Structure 1
Amino acid sequence: MRTIHVIGIGAGDPDQLTLQAVRALRATDVFFVPDKGEVKTDLVRSRRDLLETHLARGTYRIVEARDPERDREAGGTAYAPAVRDWRGARADVYERLIAEELGEDESGAFLVWGDPALYDSTLGILEEILERGEVAFAYDVVPGISSVSALVARHRTGLNRVARPVQITTGRRLAEGFPEGVDDVVVMLDAHQAFRRYADQDIDIYWGAHLGTPDEILASGPIAEAGPRIERLRAEARERKGWIMDTYLLRRNPGDG
């Protein structure tokens, strides 16, 4: 039976690749690499560089396929259907790649930024393909260093405080309100900088963009002070690259909220 490895490759620093991930790379015949278009060609190049660093030439194949576009303007009740449609389109692409590009006795791999279990769709898409019943395969998962772990490490702070919970959420959810009963909140997938609505509260922000790469940017401090600087840095970084990957930790100080 075909085998698929879902390999977490870290937040961007090639040194964050684990020994388990390297072993999985070396056990792979075909690497499936989504092409997200001209603006994000450096993401494809980074994956290729990673493979060239750890694998001997001629021991593997790379198959690129254009990643379906998602409707990023959809909001409100249209958001969930837009995501479902996008995942379905991605499942169509992945199913074709596995069926047509992977031999019955070969192993393939998807290289996932960060950790495959945290805000990534690959595992869900593979399950959808298996449920369709058109192509059979086994798969395993290699965990990776997430952007969350990289963020707090670069800021030299903990993810949570003693005996206190921490919550991971999205910018869309944060815009609806600060989570109840939690003072430490990690925010991912925030295209609209939802932290700005909390500038009048005693909350510190630890922000990072393009973590682990030569383009890495860090900023921290009270939102009221650091927020405007983050907005400027984020806009400049997006202008340079055409896209941005960032995440941040919000830490509400005692007595506020």
Structure 2
Amino acid sequence: MRIVIITGASSGMGREFALQLDKKLHSIDEYWLVGRNEEELAKTKKKMHTKTRNFIADFNSRKALFPLVQELNNIQPEVKMLVNCAGFGMVGYFDRISYNDNLSMIDVNCRALTSLTHDCIPFMAVNSRIINLASAGAFNPQPGFAVYCATKSYVLSFSRALRGELKDLGIYVTAVCPGPVNTPFFNKAERYGNVYAFKKLFMADQKAVVSKAIDDSIRCKEISVYGRTMRAYRVLAKVVPHRFIIELLNLMHKLKK
């Protein structure tokens, strides 16, 4: 049995990946959708044409993935694609964001992604794919977004290294690094502070971002960056010393007050 596993599938990018892959992949027997919101996950399932199973999981808990991993071991399916979309961010200075929220970003964005990837690789064969949702925030540190960007830097670095390790097995890893995307992400992100206004000027459509990510994964690309602005930003982050970017963002943060 060939399956696709998608985390964060109850809304946003995760749901969009599920819907688009359902239309594009014609050799998949089941989709396993993972999310914390049971009602919203059920809505995603209703829109799917391929047989779909839902797994309710809060990635803040280390036991969240136990039922899914148990099913993997019981059924022994072939995981054709793993899409790690679950994640969240909090805007605000590190010491003003709660202890629990800071650690939750690490748990959800890094630990759970790493854990599930480790559990799925033994069930992957030649020409399987892993898509990890990173962020353009992975390209450089950002005051006011410190932990989130650090977690996404981890996802990017991990994805690139893992790609090198799995290449000879015919398993390809793609890190998706979008800029701001029009999803419910900001509803939670702005609990402690507001996103820089200029970022919202470059808000991308999630359908376009996901479509490019899928195409880039099919083409075995290492990194998927949607839009000219974010591709230019990636180059800028390589050329301009990070200390200058940090100082600029700090200055902009002070001007917001």
TM-score of the superposition, structure 2-length normalised?
0.36
Name the one with the larger strand percent: 1
Select the structure of larger CA radius of gyration.
Answer: 1
Larger relative contact order (Cα-Cα within 8 Å, sequence gap ≥ 6): 1
